[in-house]
Structure 1
């Protein structure tokens, strides 16, 4: 390990299966793949490591930029009397998906590029990072989202407050159950894609199939937005929903807010269980 950076030895990159999103799998040429040990629940070494705090800062900045660009796009569409004169729903979907692609690519080697508490929660359930790191990431993601939405409001306060502030809510014509189901399935698609795109064993087994992990992850976000913007405005990211709700701060933003936490966390949990139990069958493997 001598000569390698601290983050390779500590935290998100310490275990071979927890390689940063968007990087080659560690040991990808080793066909005799061995299951790495699960991450410890609490890793005291992390708290004394600069890489731990640097990763949190990276999550804050990435989520800040994500909210800034995506909410500005939503505001641009909302202010036009004709959706044909703007980028429309497709443009909003591309904004969210494209930013996730870019930001995961930029931050993968530092924090793993989660940018979403639901993704962090799913990876924690799969024992790919410690509880300490998971909680720290979630706090920094939420703070970044609040700041990002706040900057958008500062730029165009009148429009922001008049156009709903990009806050998520169940749209007319749909029930709360519809909204919850859309958030569960949409988050499942995203987190399942994250697991598949960053699976070290898959990279070792299918090394002849090159993959840039941020691309399918960003594309999954784009497709989910196309499907669920008409239903909930698409949350699938509790930090994104919280940031917009706090800065907009109207009853419209809070009435259904619980859906945008419960739905994504259930979807992430189901994706983690599906990947670990069904796809990887880890609980049924014997460890030597």
Structure 2
């Protein structure tokens, strides 16, 4: 476990808690606010003046505002990854924390504590949405993850695994500061890249199962809405995808290190011809130019 509770660790845990809280609150509020329409209230059975089939949560999985929901999730995660980065690394997702532990980037104790505080933050964020917008929350079932009509568990599991693998691979690539020495990589753009990956994942998977790719987000909403249907998919899929991403990026990084070492060895064995650097016009003074002209015999 190898890590003592320190001030920096405490700050990291609070950052994971509050930023996950704000992320879940903003992202799921975008869903529930869109479900406060007459059709949605009719579907959820929350408006006594309307009649119809009671289908709680249908307005989320079959939402016509798919792009808006995707932007809400992607934009929210980009903002709060940026906010938490200097304190905790900005994981906000158990799949990311487990992948970082598997790669040896954080200790087992830190990974476990991150997951606990992420789940607590998600529960609190979902509870705030319920307290503020009860009708919208019930119409959308809090934006809980569950399988849409015609989707079987294997389909959802595969989608969650693949999309989380894409997300976590993006996290590894975007936050790898060692790449900046050999490429144009800019780690300052990491939150933007991560948010864009989340946005694209939601465009793909909201019609399938509401798109989790984050076990804390699924757990927090399920705990408040009491909808635990197929909850295992939203843990096994994302964590499995995160581990796959860690393995893939580890292989690529190891190969890259081998290539760089081989290149370095070749450069040491074969001395290169050093050419004088060209200073350009800015490196030539007026006096030097006059001397050169006078030496050429030009009056």
For normalisation by structure 2, the TM-score amounts to 0.75
Aligned 8 A contact 1:171 1:231 in 2: yes
* Change in CA separation of 1:199 and 1:209 when aligned onto 2, cut-off 3 Å: closer
Aligned residue for 2:21?
64
CA separation in 2, counterparts of 1:97 and 1:59? 17
Aligned 8 A contact 2:176 2:187 in 1: no
* Change in CA separation of 1:203 and 1:87 when aligned onto 2, cut-off 3 Å: farther
Aligned residue for 2:74?
97
CA separation in 2, counterparts of 1:208 and 1:247? 41
Deviation of 1:70 after TM superposition, in Å, equals 0.7
User: Unpaired segments of 5 or more residues in structure 2?
Assistant: 41-58, 262-299
Are 1:276 and 2:250 counterparts?
yes
Deviation of 1:254 after TM superposition, in Å, equals 1.3
Aligned residue for 1:264?
238
CA separation in 2, counterparts of 1:135 and 1:208? 30
Please state whether the residue corresponding to 1:270 is helix, strand or coil. Answer: helix
User: Unpaired segments of 5 or more residues in structure 1?
Assistant: 1-41
The 5 A counterparts of 1:214-229 are: 214-229=191-206
Aligned 8 A contact 1:56 1:137 in 2: yes
Are 1:43 and 2:2 counterparts?
yes
CA separation in 2, counterparts of 1:282 and 1:130? 25
Computing the radius of gyration from Cα coordinates, the structure with the larger value is: 2
Tell me how large the CA RMSD over aligned residues is.
2.1
Deviation of 1:77 after TM superposition, in Å, equals 2.0
Aligned length: 238
Aligned residue for 1:161?
138
Aligned residue for 2:288?
none
Are 1:137 and 2:117 counterparts?
no
Aligned 8 A contact 1:146 1:244 in 2: yes
Q: Equivalent of 1:147, from 105, 110, 124?
A: 124
The ranges of structure 1 where at least 4 consecutive aligned residues each deviate by more than 4 angstroms after the TM superposition are 207-211, 282-286
Moved more, 198-207 or 49-58: 198-207
Are 1:188 and 2:165 counterparts?
yes
Write the deviation string for residues 28-72 of structure 1: whole angstroms up to 9, x where unpaired. Answer: xxxxxxxxxxxxxx223x32x100011000000000001110111
Aligned 8 A contact 2:33 2:136 in 1: no
Aligned 8 A contact 1:276 1:282 in 2: no
For normalisation by structure 1, the TM-score amounts to 0.78
